[in-house]
Structure 1
Amino acid sequence: MEMSIRWTVPFEAESARWPAVSPICTDVEVKMSAGPDPPGVPPLGSGDSVQQQVLASFPLCQLTEEDLTKNPLFCKLLAALSHHLDRTGLTVSLKEELEKAEQELRTQKLAWLQSESLYRLLQEMVQDHYIRRHHNSTSPENSKFYETMEQCLLVAQCVRQLDPSSTTSQDQPLLMGLSAKHVLDLMPPEQDVRRMKQRLLAELEVHLKKKCFSILSYYQPDWEHESEGLKNVKLSLLPETLESDSKKAEALREKGLESATLLQRQTQAYLSELMGCLQILQSLILDYRLKAQKELDKKKVEYLEAKCQIVIRKIRSEMLHLQLDTYTVDKISAHWKIREKLDAELKAIRAEKQSAESMLSSFEVLGQEFEALVQEYTQLRLEIDNKSWALREFSQHSH
């Protein structure tokens, strides 16, 4: 089975973000190292059984030794496949292609990281200059140097946006009719660029040194107050220290994977034993306890029924006592008087409602003429109210 893998990586494209200033940094190199790929769990020894070797070769499969024992042909097939597949299920040839593609990806990522790191360092230098200029006055030479560098960075970024031919295979329309040549005309004078290049390496070295000391202080805060010479020595040993710590972490990770595999096997064995114990316990319960449990449950149900009846009667008794204490003879007679009064009022209100409904029905017979009279009456009432309010206000203000 053949598979072709195509990687579309934007790292080379991003390295062209500032092509106009790339000539000023030809002597600057940022060294980085990509870490090794994490290895898998080491295979079992030759003393293990075939089932254990198969389980170790395919850790992602949810299989148990019992499954492989019940299916010897399937176990034999997996043992044969283990010589052609890795632990993730990839073939040897596909694994080689994948490793080659990952190596190419790391190379392109390293190139992108170099250019991107340098670009961000230059931006930080410009920002630090503006911060220092805000707090303290700077010399005209320093201002000219940073202004020239900032202008080069801006022109390079605009060129990158206007000329995407280095990152895409398609022709794109010009932005506002501008091209890269138009923007390159905004570069500083050649003499200023030459002076900036001559000073850039020294300034960049100072800034990089400061960043490295910050990383060193972050990794080991105790070294922050050491002398500069001692910091330089420890900084030269920092890559080896980081690599050693990385190897220790990798060893711990491998040990954790081994422990996880061992724990999985022990868990499977424990669960199988536990299921056997549960089956034995279930047989004991069915044979010896369920016979007596039926009578016990019957007696318990009778007891709960009797107790429930007693509780119900006690609640009923308490409710009756509460009613006797609440409603005395005097209170009941008062309630009857209140009820008679409320009934009389309700009867009067119903009669009033009936008369109003009959009057309303007689008005509805008049039809549209009555509605016009009502609207006219309503308008007159509003005008009377408005004029009365105006008269009262006028009377108050006249006094």
Structure 2
Amino acid sequence: MSANADSGSVGPSLCKVDNLHQQVLASFPLCQMIREDLTQNPRFCKLLAMLSQHVECHGLTLKLEKELEMAERDLQTQRLRWLCSESLHRLLREMVFEHSVRKHLSNVPAEDDMFYETMKHNLLVGQCVRQLDLSDYFKQDSPPLLGLDAQQILDLASTQKDLWKTRQRLPRELEKHFLKKCFSLLSYYHPGDEREGVKNMKLLHLSGQLDGKIKRVVCLKGKSYESAALLQQQTCCYISELFGCIQILQSLILDHRLKAQKEIDKNKIEYFEAKCEIVIQKIRAEMMEIQLDTYTEDTISAHRKITEKLEAELKASQGEKHAVDSMLSSFEFFGKEFEVLAEEYSRLRQEIDTKNWALKEFSYPTN
């Protein structure tokens, strides 16, 4: 009963630990951690679990995450305002450019020419005023650009009458041009020749379709981000497992090499011994062949006769040497006085030989 109770208590505890590990790994997907790291460091795992209640998965605190969301919403609003104004400005410039192209290709009514020239002039004035405003903002202590201020540029704008006419006509022209661009976008997104009513119906649903596409792209980006984080985590696990397998393989290779090295060395020694024996036998065979080629039967018989003669002379020389040694030993018996007489005798013999040579030289007949 106690064993069953213990096993029952261990099971839920293991499940809690496993759930804790899963919670920590899910809360910090950017950290390169695996389950073994959390198992080996339980206190660090508990610290991360407590930290996950105050930190988002991206590493930001909850308060900072809210502030970041508010800042992003504000930035999105500012971007939308800027995009509206920039789109309108570019659309007006495009209308002016198209009018200038049409004017060079065909005759344009004077009213249209006046409208677009007024719009072009006022766009240029507005751009200059904006540049002056920016220069005043960034360089408040310095004088204005070219010594001009915004009011001086505004004085160069068109007359009130021309501005009033332009403003009265501008919404219609903007609507026409914008509708033209929308139709061109629709023809790109849904190519085909259709009636204007069908195009208008499709144009009403185009923004919703584009929003759906954008949301799908954002969703796919989020999934791609999650997949990249999961892939990075799996890559770290794979690399760690691969290193473990490499270490096991290295240990196996080392053990096998140490066991087989003794047998390999023994075989190498036997091989080299046999090779040395073969070389020695080959050298001996070459020496025997050289001796057989060098010493014939006549040469061997002559060498034998020479050897016998030399041995006889050697015996005779040894006998003479023995006789001289015995004579010398008898002379040594007389002591130092005989040594003096022997030196005197050798000196006299040398003088006699010298005088005989001189006498022979003087008695030699000359021409």
TM range (shorter): 0.5 to 0.7
Q: Does 1:139 align with 2:99?
A: no
- Residue 95 of structure 1 aligns with an amino acid whose one-letter code is E
| Equivalences for residues 332-343 of structure 1 within 5 A | none
Q: Does 1:244 align with 2:212?
A: yes
What does residue 69 of structure 2 align with? Answer: 99
Q: Following TM superposition, by how much is the alpha carbon of 1:114 offset from its aligned partner in structure 2, in angstroms?
A: 0.9
Q: Does 1:76 align with 2:46?
A: yes
Q: Does 1:123 align with 2:121?
A: no
Unaligned 5+ runs, structure 2: 1-15, 276-367
Identity between Structure 1 and Structure 2 (%):
56
More helix by share: 2
SS of the equivalent of 1:78 reads helix
| Equivalences for residues 16-35 of structure 1 within 5 A | none
Q: Following TM superposition, by how much is the alpha carbon of 1:176 offset from its aligned partner in structure 2, in angstroms?
A: 3.0
Q: CA offsets, 1:293-313, max 9 Å, x none? A: 56658959x99xx9xxxxxxx
Q: Does 1:287 align with 2:255?
A: yes
- What is the CA–CA distance in structure 2 between the aligned matches of 1:60 and 1:151, rounded to whole Å? 55
What does residue 170 of structure 1 align with? Answer: 140
Q: Following TM superposition, by how much is the alpha carbon of 1:169 offset from its aligned partner in structure 2, in angstroms?
A: 8.3
Number of aligned residue pairs: give it.
Answer: 256
Q: Following TM superposition, by how much is the alpha carbon of 1:87 offset from its aligned partner in structure 2, in angstroms?
A: 1.1
Q: CA offsets, 1:143-165, max 9 Å, x none? A: 11111111111111222223448
- What is the CA–CA distance in structure 2 between the aligned matches of 1:125 and 1:79, rounded to whole Å? 60
- Residue 184 of structure 2 aligns with an amino acid whose one-letter code is S
What does residue 186 of structure 1 align with? Answer: 156
Contact kept in structure 1, 2:129 and 2:154, CA below 8 Å: yes
Q: Does 1:158 align with 2:128?
A: yes
Contact kept in structure 2, 1:165 and 1:171, CA below 8 Å: no
- Residue 41 of structure 2 aligns with an amino acid whose one-letter code is N
Contact kept in structure 1, 2:133 and 2:150, CA below 8 Å: yes
- Residue 106 of structure 2 aligns with an amino acid whose one-letter code is N
- Residue 259 of structure 2 aligns with an amino acid whose one-letter code is K
Contact kept in structure 1, 2:32 and 2:232, CA below 8 Å: no
What does residue 216 of structure 1 align with? Answer: 186
What does residue 235 of structure 1 align with? Answer: 203
Q: Residues 252 and 82 of structure 1: is their aligned pair in 2 closer, same or farther, counting only changes over 3 Å?
A: same
- What is the CA–CA distance in structure 1 between the aligned matches of 2:218 and 2:24, rounded to whole Å? 25
- What is the CA–CA distance in structure 1 between the aligned matches of 2:145 and 2:235, rounded to whole Å? 64
- The RMSD of aligned alpha carbons is 3.0
Unaligned 5+ runs, structure 1: 1-45, 307-399
Contact kept in structure 1, 2:33 and 2:233, CA below 8 Å: no
Q: Following TM superposition, by how much is the alpha carbon of 1:235 offset from its aligned partner in structure 2, in angstroms?
A: 1.4
**Relative CO higher for 1 or 2, CA cutoff 8 Å, sep ≥ 6?**
1
- Max radius of gyration: which structure? 2
- What is the CA–CA distance in structure 2 between the aligned matches of 1:208 and 1:292, rounded to whole Å? 85
- So what's the TM-score if we normalise by structure 1? 0.57
| Equivalences for residues 307-346 of structure 1 within 5 A | none
Query: Structure 1 stretch 287-296 or stretch 92-101: which is displaced more?
Result: 287-296
What does residue 194 of structure 2 align with? Answer: 226
1:109 to 79, 83, 87: 79
What does residue 177 of structure 2 align with? Answer: 207
What does residue 166 of structure 2 align with? Answer: 196
Q: Residues 191 and 259 of structure 1: is their aligned pair in 2 closer, same or farther, counting only changes over 3 Å?
A: closer
Q: Residues 185 and 266 of structure 1: is their aligned pair in 2 closer, same or farther, counting only changes over 3 Å?
A: closer
SS of the equivalent of 1:49 reads helix
Q: Residues 212 and 288 of structure 1: is their aligned pair in 2 closer, same or farther, counting only changes over 3 Å?
A: same
- So what's the TM-score if we normalise by structure 2? 0.62
- What is the CA–CA distance in structure 2 between the aligned matches of 1:253 and 1:181, rounded to whole Å? 49
